Amino acid sequence: MVCDCCRRKKKLFESFAAIQTKNGQLNFCVECNDLAYKVRDDANELKSDDYVLHLEQWKKRAKKPSKRFIEWQQAFLAPLEMKLEKSGQQKSE
């Protein structure tokens, strides 16, 4: 099994997260899965500085992402970015 984000191969006794999408299943290693959760949590808690930091870390890990991962990540990030933009506009008003 290979992580769809960073392309790291699964080692013996290592756990991978399986994410069901409309186009099939994506597999994430623990590190990539943790970063995805951190990005989501930062956006939900409106922590834009942490969001940018964790998103940058996630993008650095994604050395050779699969095409399905890229499509999923764009769909995953779109509502989070809208939420942060909306909160930023409310703060400036």
Cα separation, 66 vs 80, in Å, equals: 21
Percentage of residues in the chain having pLDDT higher than 90 = 81
pLDDT tens-digit readout, 16-60: 999 999 889 999 999 999 999 999 999 999 999 999 999 999 999
Q: Does 36 reside within a domain?
A: yes
In this predicted structure, the answer to whether residue 90 has a pLDDT above a threshold of 70 is no
DSSP the chain: -B-TTT-PBPPTT---EEEEETTEEEEE-HHHHHHHHHHHHHHHTT-HHHHHHHHHHHHHH-SS--HHHHHHHHHHHHHHHHHHHHHHHHHH-
| Predicted pLDDT at 91 | 57
Q: Does 52 reside within a domain?
A: yes
The predicted model scores a pTM of 0.86
Q: How many helices (H) does the chain have, and how many strands (E)?
A: 3, 2
Structural domain tally of the chain?
1
In this predicted structure, the answer to whether residue 71 has a pLDDT above a threshold of 80 is yes
In this predicted structure, the answer to whether residue 93 has a pLDDT above a threshold of 60 is no
Domain of 33, in residue numbers: 1-69+76-85
